[in-house]
Amino acid sequence: MFFSVEDNALIAQEGNERIRIEGWGECALRVRATLNASFSCAEKGLLSRPKSHAEVKRVENGAIIQNGSLCCIVHEHGWMEFYDGDTLLLKEYYRDFSGANGHSPSMKLRAREYKPHGSDYSITLRFEALEEKLFGMGQYQQPLLNLKGCVLELAQRNSQISVPFLLSSRGYGFLLNHAGVGEAAFGANFTQWRELCSDEIDYWIVSGTPKDILERYTAVTGRAPQFPENMLGLWQSKLRYRTQEEVLSVAREYHRRGLPLDVIVIDFFHWVRQGDWAFDPDYFPDPEAMTKELHALGTRCMVSVWPTVDRKSVNFLPMKEKGLLVRTERGSIQCFDFQGDTVIYDATSPAARDYLWGQIEKNYYQKGIDSFWLDEAEPEYCAYDFEHFRYEAGPVVKTGNLYPRAHAEGFYRKMKEAGQKDVVNLTRSAWVGSAKCGAVVWSGDILSNFETLRDQLAGGLNIGLAGIPWWTTDTGGFFGDVTAPHFNELLIRWFQFSVFSPVLRLHGDRGPHDIPSFTSLDFGGGFSPTGRDNELWSYGEETYAILKKFLFLRLSMKEYLKEVFAEASEKGYPVMRTLFFEFPADSRAWEVADEYMLGSRLLVAPVLYEGMLRRTVYLPEGEWRKFPGGEEIYRGGEYEVDAPLDEIPVFERIK
């Protein structure tokens, strides 16, 4: 292998493969490898490059590049190892004669494998399976916090959010800087990353404690802005408020009951057709008067915006003629078929983002709507046949994971340009860098049961470790029947969990669905059905009393929450944190998967099983007391604590 130095980067070349390794932030290295003549300039996850002081030196049988405590050894046969001091962090998996690496060479298997895929390649990247626990990677609908042993699709789906950054208990973070569809397999025999269509290998590795890793990772991918205080309380939503009067009547009732309401959300099909991006005037005759009254009540109004464009929409033909829609590789250009024949706007196109904002500004923003619900933001397709669709940025199989960030960024930039300082939008998907776009990510359309609630805890903690600190769920689940046994118990336990989550948001499609539509027409704001009531008082007086109690507990925490959100903005820390994030030296903290920290001081032990009235809580070393208002001191250890229906075990760290 031939080695050279270029602009403080280590260049290694053997045959047609060219490798470039360079410092990229504190104690971090970016590694690229390609069979092409040059590296790609495509926009991906690394949005900035802080200063670094990497040093390169030639050694016997290879070369070394070091940046802070992190170093990479490139052996003369091409395989790489990464160290923090004397600690081995990561090692490529080679089983061939050119770099036998102490193992049988007969398999002829190399760490970096390129197979033709059109003019690009299908790429496989392999590392040795060292003893470690792995976290992050976004949000997947499964209850495992430690992802070692998991196989994860690198693609966006409704309720699945792929953010290809992991944090290892060995003391490193790893970002696969590739926006296309693929797979990550964290096996017991080796770790394997697959990119279905790419022109190069591109990854970034960083060393440090969990806090160091998140701070250094978000320094190169982006951090959330400051979160506004007037959105730290309750967000009220349901499927769906069908009229202006329904929206106002709910807000008035909250005000009458003395319940502060920070946000009320107007869900889908308040429009005439998908892609009109405007209120149906028959049901929302005066949006400006509506938002004015809501603001007077202290409530912000959020409106759902879908990326889908019905062929009968007023915007379909202009967007089609201008090339602003997602393309299909064969057959019809249909993308989605939910209550209409629709195509999706291309968020990777700057012109498409400008066109969409023009409609949003005219029909919503100028009428007082200052936050948006970016639903369907994966985007959702009739079938997730990723090779069938193409964006301006390239084939979806190569660039598809860029979509949710581009969509959120389009809104964020336009709202900032309009002078708004507190931009917060809700979105159903995200990718590397979405945090800097003012995006609150929610966990998608999920079932109403305790099993799903357990999935949300793992998902919320792992997406925080992937650099997305603003996260929420449909409290109570989305698909739920209010007449089902134990629904109220589930709602209460979920609401308690949400009070100690980044965003407290009540939403769901509440069945049974026996409320008639306003019209027999198959379009307009009156045709789509609605679910049952979903306000705090909708589930009986006993449930209302508990929900009300926890709402005011949330409101009493605002000063503390402001501190926690400031850490997310300034350092990239999650709002919800695994125990090991705050206690990395505690080996037990790396094992606990049913508790978490809200910020640095509150340890939350949610009730995640039906009928559970008592649970075990592990407290790391220190002094703790029950929150709120506890006086007894608890020291590190394991405790059995009561958890009646109107309580959630929470402990405050005092030392």
- pLDDT one-digit tens code per residue, 14-62: 999 999 999 999 999 999 999 999 999 887 999 999 888 899 999 999 9
Give the mean pLDDT of 340-352: 97
As to burial, measured by CB atoms within 10 angstroms (0-12 exposed, 13-18 middle, 19+ buried), residue 197 is buried
| Tens-digit pLDDT profile for residues 502-523 | 999 999 999 999 999 999 888 9
Q: What is the pLDDT of residue 99?
A: 58
Residue 346 reports pLDDT greater than 90: yes
Q: Is 445 a catalytic residue?
A: yes
Q: How far apart are CA 609 and CA 562, in angstroms?
A: 31
Where do the DSSP E strands lie in 540-612?
576-577, 596-598, 602-604
CA atoms within 13 A on the CB side of 407: 31
| Tens-digit pLDDT profile for residues 164-207 | 999 999 999 999 999 999 999 999 999 999 999 999 999 999 99
CB 620 within 8 A of CB 632: no
> What tokens does 592 get?
């606990």
Mean pLDDT of the chain: 96
Give the mean pLDDT of 521-536: 93
Where in the chain are all domains bearing CATH 2.60.40.1180? 578-653
- Which member of 195, 199, 346, 378 is catalytic? 378
Residue with tokens 């925490």: 557
CB 370 within 8 A of CB 287: no
Residue 100 reports pLDDT greater than 70: no
**DSSP-derived 3-state class of residue 41:** coil
Residue 491 C-alpha from the chain's centroid: 23
Where in the chain are all domains bearing CATH 2.60.40.1760? 2-221
Q: Nearest 5°: phi and psi at 72?
A: -120, 130
- DSSP class of residue 320 equals H
Give the mean pLDDT of 86-96: 94
**DSSP-derived 3-state class of residue 553:** helix
Q: What is the pLDDT of residue 98?
A: 65
- Which member of 153, 361, 445, 610 is catalytic? 445
- Which member of 267, 375, 474, 594 is catalytic? 375
Classify domain 578-653 by CATH architecture. Answer: Sandwich (2.60)
Give the mean pLDDT of 450-462: 98
Q: Is 378 a catalytic residue?
A: yes
Q: How far apart are CA 472 and CA 493, in angstroms?
A: 15
Q: How many CB atoms lie under 10 A from the CB of residue 60?
A: 5
Domain 2-221 class, CATH top level: mainly beta
| Tens-digit pLDDT profile for residues 51-67 | 888 999 999 999 999 99
Q: How far apart are CA 634 and CA 620, in angstroms?
A: 10
Residue 396 reports pLDDT greater than 60: yes
Residue 628 reports pLDDT greater than 60: yes
> What tokens does 220 get?
């190169």
| Tens-digit pLDDT profile for residues 241-256 | 999 999 999 999 999 9
Residue with tokens 């070091």: 66
**DSSP-derived 3-state class of residue 336:** strand
In residues, how long is the chain? Answer: 655
Q: What is the pLDDT of residue 51?
A: 85
Q: What is the pLDDT of residue 359?
A: 98
Q: Tell me the pLDDT band of 110, cut-offs 50, 70 and 90.
A: confident
The model carries a pTM of 0.97
Q: What is the pLDDT of residue 78?
A: 87
